[in-house]
Amino acid sequence: MITISAFKWVPDFAQGLVRDLRVRWALEEAGLPYKTRLLEQGDQDKPDYRALQPFGQVPILEEDGLVLFESGAIVLHIGERSETLLPKDVGARARAMQWLIAALNSIEPSIMNVALIDIFYPNEEWAKLRRPAAVEFAQKRLSALSKSLGDKPYLDGDRFSAGDLMMVTVLRILRHTDIVSSEKRLAAYVEHCTARSAFKRALDAQLGDFRIAA
């Protein structure tokens, strides 16, 4: 049985965004059962957990002696067992991996730059001065993404993949702003992907754990 780590509880602003959601979604798309290892606050800094995840983050995946951290690596690992996530066609498979890495490397840093300012430093003078430029840079990246998406339902055309899964979870980080939702193509894209039953099951599972702990 696959086990993934997740926090037992997080503040409201993080609920539905914590990165174990990415792995839960991938597992749901792949039809693979799993259980959760729920961490109390502080457990992520204990030596036994740091031995598995050196940065004290979630999620980790454990299965038959294999331990993996980093959501991108875990989703790709799950994708090896799911043609929904990583198609058999060599080109489509490579493009799915390409978009997953683009989500993490080309889009997420600029989005997180804005999110960190908004969530953790909203009243700091330096943050108020920095935010307009951070937003402008994020918008440039999102504009390029929107142009590449075009009128396609998914990044690689008519077929959902691990690249879409990762991209949508990254775009949702800015749900507290209109930065993504004001891009009509991206707003429709996020809505389309999150309408998938696998996403809904994953989100319900994560939020269900938080409700139990509340």
Q: What is the pLDDT of residues 131-146, one digit of tens each?
A: 999 999 999 999 999 9
Reported as a single tens digit per residue, the pLDDT across 102-155 is 999 999 999 999 999 999 999 999 999 999 999 999 999 999 999 999 999 999
pLDDT bucket at 164, cuts 50 / 70 / 90? very high
Q: Is 35 left (phi over 0), alpha (psi -120 to 50) or beta?
A: beta
Q: Which residues contact 7 (CB under 8 A, 6 or more apart)?
A: 18, 20, 38, 39, 41, 44, 58
Does the structure show a pLDDT above 90 at 213?
no
Task: Enumerate the β-bridge partners of residue 62.
Answer: 3, 67
Assigned token pair, 5: 């780590």
DSSP letter for each residue of 167-205:
HHHHHGGGTTSSTTTTSHHHHHHHHHHHTSHHHHHHHHH
Q: Global pTM?
A: 0.96
Residues 50, 66: Cα–Cα separation, whole Å: 15
Domains, the chain, ranges and CATH?
Answer: 2-84+198-213 (3.40.30.10), 90-196 (1.20.1050.10)
Distance of CA 181 to the CA centre of its chain: 17
Please, what's the b/e burial string for 87-97 (b: 16 or more CB within 10 A of its CB; e: otherwise)? beeeebbebbb
Sign for the pseudo-dihedral over CA of 136, 142, 144, 150: negative
Whose tokens are 């003078």? That residue is: 125
**Local structure of 34: helix, strand or coil:** strand
pLDDT tens per residue, range 170-183:
999 999 999 999 99
Please name which of 111, 165, 105, 99 lies closest in space to residue 138, comparing C-alpha atoms.
111
